[in-house]
Structure 1
Amino acid sequence: MRVSVITDGAAAPSAAPHPPAAPVAAATVAAVHTALPPHRYAQEELTEPIGDLCLAPGADRALLRRLHASTGVRARHLALPIERYAGLGDFGRSNDAWIAAGLDLGEEAVAGALRGAGLEPADVDLLVCNSVTGVATPSLDARLAGRLGLRPDVKRLPVFGLGCVAGAAGLARLHDYLRGHPDDTAVLLTVELCSLTLQRRDDSRANLVAGALFGDGAAALVARGRAAAEGGGSGPAVIATRSHLYPATGHLMGWDIGAGGFRVVIDAGIPRTVREHLGRPLRAFLAEHGLTTDDIGTWVCHPGGPKVLSAVTDVLGLPDDALDGARRSLAAVGNLSSASVLHVLQGHCGSRRPEPGTWGLLMAMGPGFCSEFVLLRW
């Protein structure tokens, strides 16, 4: 793994003459499992209740309704029944709800992923746990260890602040760890309950976009080191990773944290930034492995929203259907922040699993502004 900052004047690495004939994987994805709350709503069922939460009585709802109709989302799952959100009142109550629901979903996601991999909780050597929608000390991973039956000596790494990029970055860091621990099994858990960050009586465009786009859920991924993955798994091998921070873009995405909790920052310039900055470093990363975008048979992209997916498709010159997995995920559950890219990956580990030998590229973007690329091979 290498971290770099790309500017318009930087020279791209020269392309390798040929792709590696037999890439050696440090990690293999053994299973992915998504857990969703039981409270599922069609998008049109949420428009007016969310308007009641976010807008002042009698306020014009035209923008709210346009946003809900244009996100590409058909349904979402919420941590709580929609009628309970008005009674949360403050950040403390919202965070308590995040802990309670997050533990249940996290347990379900990890247990499901371990079952899918044919493993037991005692087989887990490292648990990386990410969330950007709540805080807890002891962290979720510590609280889950006993519930799941993990070993007392399990290594734990709680992560906060990566936002939507964390699903891809978490898989990349599992790969880094397993390079040095080839006999180990590592689990990535992402828990994102975005609805609990919705700000009451906040009619800002960012809050209304979040209320129209984001859903709740958790996802867990089991990865095994080279020596441990003798039996393979339902997912691909991880070949290489790359991280990028883009200069002067920190204002585009994140949280403004105040008395009401996490107030979302989503800048309208994100799709433009993707068009201007994503293509060059991604192509340079592929070129180092003797590949181009034409060699990638499966794209596993975080579904940031329709405009972001269109920007990715355009800047990379992809076929119109290349990101259909991301669009299906967005329609079915909304944007799950860090859990979304794992939800998309899960779709490529079952009936839609690519043919052996297919190259894949898993990617996500998030606060920083940053991107994470993970080169895969099935």
Structure 2
Amino acid sequence: MDVTIQGLATALPDHELPQDLVRQAAQRVLGPKFENFERLIPSFEQAGIGRRWSVAPLEWFERPHGWADRNQVYLEGTRKMFRDAATAALERAGWRADEVDVVITVSSTGIATPTLEAQLADCMDFRSDVMRVPVFGLGCAGGISGLAIAARLAQAQPGAKVLLVVVEACTPSFRSDRLQKADIIATVLFGDGAAAACLSTDSVRRGAEPRLSMKAEHQHMWPDTLGIMGWEVNDDGLGVIFDRSIPGFAAEHFAPAVDGALAAAGLERADIDRFVCHPGGAKVVQAIETALDLPPDSLDAERAVLHDCGNMSAPTALFVLERVLAAGQTGRMLTCALGPGFTASFAVLERAE
């Protein structure tokens, strides 16, 4: 029984941060503390990012913050993005919030207890018996892994309406105290955003959007790679783990993982009309094109999302998917994302012409 994505939407926070202003602020805050900072300035220009969006205004980052400050900004920003993305996805699916049977919330950039969907239950008008499934720790792979979780829950309860919300506020974790290269690269790359999707096996079509069928999902975790990506928990906040080897690792190891995911679905690369990839950074996008023998610049939507929004962690791949669908892409697609673990997450999607 096919699971279909019946509504897909994205949302951004209120504060636009042009990359040149971020670079100038980083020079003021980090330059006097980090002796090699000047050597990293070209990274701001080479990252392929024109702007990103944040739950906090630029001046917030020029003051010191602890856990409580950071998490409060996370909560305020993610609640709004959750509501905006979920409301738009429900509207596109033609669903009411009180019809939703399962809400899955994917987020790894802050702590919310009660979880976000509980905090928003009244204003969203979720039912009192809605099943809540919060998921933490998937990082950049969370959007695609979230689709897989949502699809399995929809298959387990045929006809149920499953709402997936993937929301991250990466920017409040900006650190000016650790003075590690990974923190500066995070400052170059990361932004905030949310995406939501409505999934069900129900064949009754309400929304106006063409339906997108989920045909298969797959995950691959490489051994002895825990140190490539993740968070350190420090007294003042989360500290990014972001290894410089990621582009090289993707270039060497991504294609066999893709082939394994496709083989599990009875497919080959030639069967895929469009690869839809998480743009972790300009070098990662280039590494994926090289690894999969794709024509240069074929991942145009990935580069466009990176330019307009930065790397938002988990929802970013769904931003790319939204753009690919808006451009009229049909046929079979493989969505891909790399995340902590070190993990590759995949979903095979199909859209009829």
Does TM-score exceed 0.5, indicating one fold?
yes
Cα offset, 1:153, TM superposition: 0.7
Whether the 8 Å CA contact 1:28–1:229 is kept in 2: the answer is no
Aligned amino acid, residue 348 of structure 2: L
1:212-239 deviations in Å (ceiling 9; x for gaps): 0011111111112244558784442100
SS at match of 2:154: helix
Whether the 8 Å CA contact 2:94–2:206 is kept in 1: the answer is no
* Aligned counterpart for 1:252 among listed residues 217, 223, 228: 228
Q: Aligned partners of 1:86 and 1:235: how far apart in 2? A: 45
Q: Does 1:366 align with 2:329?
A: no
Whether the 8 Å CA contact 2:90–2:97 is kept in 1: the answer is yes
> Which residue in the other structure is 1:178 paired with?
154
Q: Does 1:208 align with 2:184?
A: yes
> Which residue in the other structure is 1:199 paired with?
175
> Which residue in the other structure is 1:237 paired with?
213
Q: Does 1:66 align with 2:39?
A: no
- Contiguous gaps of at least 5 residues in structure 1: 1-23
Aligned amino acid, residue 155 of structure 1: M
* Aligned counterpart for 1:155 among listed residues 131, 152, 155: 131
Cα offset, 1:312, TM superposition: 1.1
> Which residue in the other structure is 1:314 paired with?
290
Q: Aligned partners of 1:133 and 1:81: how far apart in 2? A: 18
Aligned amino acid, residue 45 of structure 2: A
> Which residue in the other structure is 2:277 paired with?
301
Whether the 8 Å CA contact 1:191–1:339 is kept in 2: the answer is yes
Query: CA 1:232/1:41 → structure 2, altered by over 3 Å: closer, same or farther?
Result: closer
Q: Does 1:280 align with 2:256?
A: yes
Whether the 8 Å CA contact 2:100–2:130 is kept in 1: the answer is yes
Whether the 8 Å CA contact 2:7–2:207 is kept in 1: the answer is no
Q: Does 1:328 align with 2:304?
A: yes
* Aligned counterpart for 1:140 among listed residues 87, 107, 116: 116
> Which residue in the other structure is 2:328 paired with?
353
> Which residue in the other structure is 2:90 paired with?
114
Query: CA 1:61/1:127 → structure 2, altered by over 3 Å: closer, same or farther?
Result: same
Cα offset, 1:201, TM superposition: 3.1
Cα offset, 1:246, TM superposition: 0.3
Q: Does 1:35 align with 2:18?
A: no
Query: CA 1:231/1:258 → structure 2, altered by over 3 Å: closer, same or farther?
Result: closer
1:64-97 deviations in Å (ceiling 9; x for gaps): 4211111110111111110122335211111011
Q: Which runs of 4+ in 1 moved over 6 A?
A: none
Per the normalisation by structure 1, the TM-score is 0.88
Cα offset, 1:316, TM superposition: 1.2
> Which residue in the other structure is 2:350 paired with?
377
Segment of structure 1 superposing worse, 31-40 or 48-57: 48-57
SS at match of 1:32: strand
- Contiguous gaps of at least 5 residues in structure 2: none
Whether the 8 Å CA contact 2:30–2:37 is kept in 1: the answer is no
Q: Does 1:100 align with 2:76?
A: yes
SS at match of 2:53: strand
Aligned amino acid, residue 133 of structure 2: L
Give the total of aligned pairs.
Answer: 351
Q: Aligned partners of 1:232 and 1:217: how far apart in 2? A: 24
SS at match of 1:377: strand
Aligned amino acid, residue 344 of structure 1: V
Cα offset, 1:191, TM superposition: 1.3
Whether the 8 Å CA contact 2:227–2:243 is kept in 1: the answer is yes
Whether the 8 Å CA contact 2:29–2:176 is kept in 1: the answer is yes
Whether the 8 Å CA contact 2:108–2:139 is kept in 1: the answer is yes
Segment of structure 1 superposing worse, 123-132 or 317-326: 317-326
Query: CA 1:53/1:147 → structure 2, altered by over 3 Å: closer, same or farther?
Result: farther
Instruction: Give me the identity figure in percent.
Output: 32
Aligned amino acid, residue 376 of structure 1: L
SS at match of 2:311: coil
1:225-274 deviations in Å (ceiling 9; x for gaps): 24455878444210001111101111100011010110000001112221
Cα offset, 1:348, TM superposition: 2.5
1:88-133 deviations in Å (ceiling 9; x for gaps): 5211111011111111111111011111111110121111111111
Segment of structure 1 superposing worse, 217-226 or 365-374: 217-226
Q: Aligned partners of 1:53 and 1:191: how far apart in 2? A: 27
SS at match of 1:34: strand
SS at match of 1:278: helix
